Amino acid sequence: MYPSDPGYAPSFDTRLAQAETLCQERGVRLTDLRRRVLEIIWSHPKPMGAYAILDVLRGDGRQGAPPTVYRALDFLLEQGLIHRLASLNVYAGCCQPGSRHGGQFLICRDCGQVNEMNSPAVENLLCAEAAAHCFEVLTQMVEVLGRCPDCQRGTSSDVG
Amino acid sequence: MYPSDPGYAPSFDTRLAQAETLCQERGVRLTDLRRRVLEIIWSHPKPMGAYAILDVLRGDGRQGAPPTVYRALDFLLEQGLIHRLASLNVYAGCCQPGSRHGGQFLICRDCGQVNEMNSPAVENLLCAEAAAHCFEVLTQMVEVLGRCPDCQRGTSSDVG
DNA sequence: TAGCAATTGTTATTCTATAACATAATTGCA
DNA sequence: TGCAATTATGTTATAGAATAACAATTGCTA
C-alpha cells in the first residue's frame, strides 16, 4: 500500500520492467528520455516538480528545456505510470500502474511525504455520489493534506 | 446542492449578508476589497482565475497588482468563503460557508461548469480510510473531472 | 533508401504566484 | 483626541509552472 514501505513495494527493476511490458502491450514507446524521467521520479523519496526533474536530467549531461520534461510527463501521465498532484504541482510515481485509477493521496503537511492510497470504496462512493447528480465521471483527483504517522509521533527524519 | 440552481441557491444579497455576519462573529474584517472580490467570484457563472479577477477589479477603476488579488483570495480561503480548485488554478465561491469543509467539485470537461457537492459520506469515508493508514486529516481536496448533465444531453449553452 | 510519423531540441512567451518594501487605514489605549 | 501598534493595501520586481511554435532528429515502413 505504501510505496515507500520496503516490505510492500516491488523493487525498482521490477517496476521498470512492468512499465516496459505495459508500454509494449499498448504499442507505445518508452523511450530513453521517458524511461529516465520515470526512473528519476521513482528513485526520489518524494514527488518532484517538473523543474527539479529537469535539473536531474541536466546533471546527466543531457540537453533539455521545460518542454523536454513536460512532454515526457504527459506521456507517463497518459499511460498511468505517474500521477500529478495538482495541489503541489508535483509528479509522483503510480504504485499500481496497469489499472487506470485516480488514486487518493495522503500528503504530509510537515515532512512533505506523499503516500498513494487506492481505496476502491472511496472511488466507488465518489462515482455514486456524482451519478446521483447525473454527472459522468472521467477522472478523480483526491488529495488529502494532513500529518503522516511519523510526524504525529515526532519521529520524522527528513523535512522538506 | 447546486449553487447555480435558482431553486436552491440563496440570493446574492443573502449570501453577502451571511458572509458579513460570519466575519463579524469571527472578529475579522470583510473590507471593501475583500467583499468586492467575493462579489466578483459569486457573480460569475464559473470559477475564475486570479488574473481574471484582477481584470475585473481594474475595470472598476481600482488600482491593483497580483498581490492585491491573492491577498484577498487568501483571506476568503481562510474564512472558508471560497474554495481553490487546484487542478484548474481557479477560485470558486463556497456554497456552504460557515461549516468548514473540503467540498467535492464536479468539473465539466466540456463546458467548464463547476458544481460543489457536499457529501458527508465521501468526507467521512475518506477520513476513515486515511485513519486506517494512521494519517491525520487536515483538509481534503476532491475534484472530479467529467461531463455535466447538460453536456451529456448536448444541451449546454455556454462553452468556455 | 526515400518518405512519413513520432520524438526530441530550442527559443520565446504566457500564466500563476510570491517576495520585499512602501504607504495608508484601523484599532486600542493613554 | 492623539499616538503607537497592528492590519490592510499599493507597488515593483521576480520566481515558478506550463505551453506555443518551429527546427532538427530519430525510427519505422514501403
Q: What is the pLDDT of residues B49-99, one digit of tens each?
A: 999 999 999 999 998 999 999 999 999 999 999 999 999 999 999 988 877
CB B140 within 8 A of CB A142: yes
CA distance B44 to B40: 6
Tell me, yes or no, if A4 comes closer than 8 A to chain B by beta carbon. no
Cβ neighbours of A133 in B, within 8 Å: 1-2, 106, 115, 117, 149
Q: What is the pLDDT of residues A55-110, one digit of tens each?
A: 999 999 998 899 999 999 999 999 999 999 999 999 999 988 877 787 899 999 98
A79 touches strand C (CB under 7 A): no
- Give me the pLDDT at residue A160, please: 44
- Give me the pLDDT at residue A8, please: 55
- Picking from B106, B117, B142, the nearest residue to A142 by CB comes out as B142
Substitution target in A2, A107, A113, A135 with the highest count of B β-carbons within 10 Å is A135
Strand partners, A143: A105, B141
Cβ neighbours of A140 in B, within 8 Å: 142-145
**Which residue in the block uniquely carries the three cell numbers 503516500?**
A115
Q: What is the 3-state secondary structure (H, E, C) of chain B?
A: CCCCCCCCCCCHHHHHHHHHHHHHHHCCCCCHHHHHHHHHHHHCCCCECHHHHHHHHHHCCCCCCHHHHHHHHHHHHHCCCEEEECCCCEEEECCCCCCCCCCEEEEECCCCCEEEECCHHHHHHHHHHHHHCCCEEEEEEEEEEEECHHHHHCCCCCCC
CATH tag for B12-147 (out of 3.40.640.10, 1.10.1040.10, 1.10.10.10, 2.60.120.10): 1.10.10.10
- Give me the pLDDT at residue A156, please: 58
Q: Do A135 and B148 touch (CB under 8 A)?
A: yes
CATH tag for A12-153 (out of 3.40.50.300, 3.40.50.720, 3.30.460.20, 1.10.10.10): 1.10.10.10
A37 touches strand C (CB under 7 A): no
pLDDT category, A4, cuts 50, 70, 90? very low
- Give me the pLDDT at residue B12, please: 78
Say which range, A43-57, A97-111, B4-18, has the weakest mean pLDDT. B4-18
Residues 90-149 of A with CB under 8 A from B: 104, 106, 108-109, 115, 117, 119, 121-122, 125-126, 129-130, 133-149
